[in-house]
C-alpha cells in the first residue's frame, strides 16, 4: 500500500507523547460538543476531536445519532479550538455531507469494515479526494477483511490511512466488551510497518475503569496513539455511557502512561538482546525441525489407516490429546489458551495431510 507518514499530514504532539483523538461517543447537542472540545483543547496530546453523527445500532429505536444536523457543530469546534475533526461514515451520502461540511478526517466503523460492498461504496465516493481515512478492524477476527478495507481505500487514491484496533466481538462474557486479540493488530503492524496504528480502548473495554489498562498495553506494543471516548458527564451520555471518561480523567490517563522507546544506546543491553535473539532463532529452528518430524509420523499414521480402511479424523483421539497437552502446559506455566490455539492449528494440518493422502490413494 502507498501510505503517507503520519507526521506529514497530522500535527503530532511532543516526541514521546502518543497522539490522542478524543470526544464523545455521540454528538448530542451543540453545547455538549463545544463544552467537551474546549476542555480537550487544554490537553496537549489531543489533536483531533471525534464525535459520532451517525450511530449504527444493533436494535431499532435506540439513539442513532443526529445526522446532518450535528455537522455544523464540528465546524464550530475547529473554528473555536483549532482541533481537527473526525466522524464515522457508513455510506456514500455520509461521505458527501462530511466533505461539504469540511470534516478533516473520516473513519470507517467496525460494522462497515465487515462489509466489502459498503467499504467499496465509500471508496468510490472518495475517488479524487485528498482526505485522511481511519479504518477500524471488523467486528469479527478477520485480518484479511481489515486489510481488504484498507486496500480498497488505498486503491481509491487515499494515502493518508490509519488503522484503528477496537477489539473483536465474542459470544462469551469476558473482562472486556470486545476481545483485544492483540496478535491480530500486531500481525497487521508487521505486514505494514508504515501504516499508523491506533488503539480504541473505549470499545475494547466497555468500562471506563479499564481504559487506562488497555491504553498502557497499546503503548507497550508501540501503537501510534489512542482514540478515547470523552464526555463532560459520562453517566448522562445518550450512548455507551459506561465506557466514556471525563476530560479530567483523560488527562490523568495520558499522564499515567509509561512510555517506552523502541531502541536503546546502551551497548550492554544491545549485546544481551542479540544473544537472547540468537537463542530464540535456535529454538525456532528446533521447533520447525520437530514439526517436520511430526509431519513424517502423521504421514505414517495415514498410511497405516489407509491399509486398515480407518477414517482420517478420529475425534476421540484429538480430545484426549488436547486434554493431555493442556494439563502439561499448565504444569509448565504456559497459557492453556495459547497451547490450545497452537494444537488446534497442528491438528488441522495433520487432518489435511491425512485427507490429501487418502484422496491420492483413492485415485
Is the separation of the CB atoms in 71 and 101 below 8 Å? yes
pLDDT at 197: 97
Reported confidence tier of residue 317, pLDDT bands at 50, 70, 90:
confident
SS3 (DSSP) at 207: coil
What are the domain boundaries of the chain?
6-256, 267-362
Q: Which one, of 165, 171, 235, lies nearest residue 202 by Cα?
A: 165
16 pLDDT higher than 80 = no
356 pLDDT higher than 90 = no
pLDDT in tens, 118-166: 999 999 999 999 999 999 999 999 999 999 999 999 999 999 999 999 9
Indicate the helix (H) or strand (E) that contains 99. Answer: helix 92-101
292 pLDDT higher than 70 = yes
pLDDT in tens, 214-269: 999 999 999 999 999 999 999 999 999 999 999 999 999 999 999 876 666 677 87
| CA count, 13 A, side-chain hemisphere, 335 | 4
Radius of gyration for the chain, computed over Cα atoms and rounded to the nearest angstrom: 24
Other CB atoms within 10 Å distance of the CB of residue 30: 14
Sign of CA dihedral 224, 183, 270, 213: positive
Calculate mean pLDDT across residues 10-30.
Answer: 91
310 pLDDT higher than 80 = no
pLDDT at 263: 62
305 pLDDT higher than 90 = no
Tell me the C-alpha distance between 323 and 125, whole Å: 52
Least confident of 15-19, 39-43, 49-53: 15-19
Which fold is adopted by the domain 267-362?
Answer: Chorismate Mutase Domain, subunit A (1.20.59)
Calculate mean pLDDT across residues 9-33.
Answer: 92
Mean pLDDT of the chain: 92
Query: What CATH number has the domain spanning 6-256?
Result: 3.20.20.70
SS3 (DSSP) at 227: strand
Is the separation of the CB atoms in 88 and 118 below 8 Å? no
Grid cell listed for 21: 483523538
315 pLDDT higher than 90 = no
Total count of residues recorded for the chain: 363
90 pLDDT higher than 70 = yes
pLDDT at 148: 98
In the chain, the percentage of residues whose pLDDT exceeds 70 is 97
Amino acid at each position: 500500500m502507498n501510505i503517507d507518514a503520519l507526521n506529514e499530514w497530522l500535527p503530532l504532539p511532543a516526541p514521546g507523547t502518543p497522539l490522542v483523538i478524543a470526544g464523545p461517543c455521540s454528538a448530542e447537542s451543540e453545547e455538549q460538543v463545544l463544552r467537551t472540545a474546549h476542555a480537550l483543547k487544554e490537553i496537549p496530546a489531543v489533536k483531533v476531536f471525534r464525535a459520532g453523527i451517525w450511530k449504527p445500532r444493533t436494535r431499532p429505536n435506540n439513539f442513532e445519532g443526529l445526522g446532518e444536523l450535528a455537522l455544523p457543530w464540528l465546524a464550530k469546534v475547529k473554528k473555536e479550538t483549532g482541533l481537527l475533526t473526525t466522524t464515522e461514515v457508513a455510506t456514500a451520502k455520509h461521505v458527501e455531507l462530511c466533505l461539504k461540511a469540511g470534516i478533516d478526517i473520516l473513519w470507517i466503523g467496525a460494522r462497515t469494515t465487515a462489509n466489502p460492498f459498503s467499504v467499496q461504496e465509500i471508496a468510490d465516493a472518495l475517488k479524487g479526494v485528498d482526505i485522511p481515512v481511519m479504518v477500524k478492524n471488523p467486528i469479527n477476527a478477520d485480518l484479511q477483511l481489515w486489510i481488504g478495507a484498507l486496500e480498497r481505500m488505498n486503491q481509491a487514491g487515499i494515502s493518508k490511512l490509519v488503522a484503528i484496533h477496537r477489539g473483536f466481538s465474542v459470544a462469551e462474557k469476558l473482562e472486556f466488551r470486545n476481545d483485544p486479540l492483540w496478535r491480530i493488530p500486531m500481525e497487521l503492524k508487521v505486514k505494514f510497518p508504515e501504516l499508523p496504528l491506533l488503539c480504541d480502548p473505549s470499545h475494547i473495554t466497555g468500562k471506563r475503569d479499564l481504559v487506562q489498562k488497555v491504553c498502557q498495553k497499546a503503548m507497550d506494543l508501540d501503537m501510534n496513539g489512542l482514540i478515547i471516548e470523552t464526555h463532560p458527564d459520562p453517566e448522562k451520555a445518550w450512548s455507551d455511557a459506561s465506557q466514556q471518561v471525563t476530560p479530567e480523567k483523560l488527562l490523568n490517563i495520558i499522564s499515567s502512561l509509561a512510555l517506552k522507546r523502541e531502541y536503546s544506546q546502551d551497548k550492554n543491553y544491545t549485546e544481551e538482546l542479540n544473544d537472547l535473539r540468537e537463542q530464540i532463532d535456535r529454538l525456532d529452528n528446533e521447533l520447525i525441525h520437530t514439526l517436520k518430524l511430526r509431519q513424517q509420523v502423521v504421514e505414517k499414521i495415514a498410511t497405516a489407516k489407509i491399509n486398515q480402511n480407518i477414517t482420517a479424523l478420529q475425534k476421540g483421539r484429538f480430545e484426549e490429546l488436547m486434554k493431555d497437552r493442556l494439563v502439561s502446559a499448565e504444569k509448565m506455566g504456559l497459557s492453556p489458551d495459547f497451547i490450545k490455539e497452537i494444537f488446534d492449528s497442528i491438528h488441522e494440518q495433520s487432518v489435511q495431510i491425512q485427507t490429501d493422502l487418502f484422496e491420492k490413494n483413492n485415485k
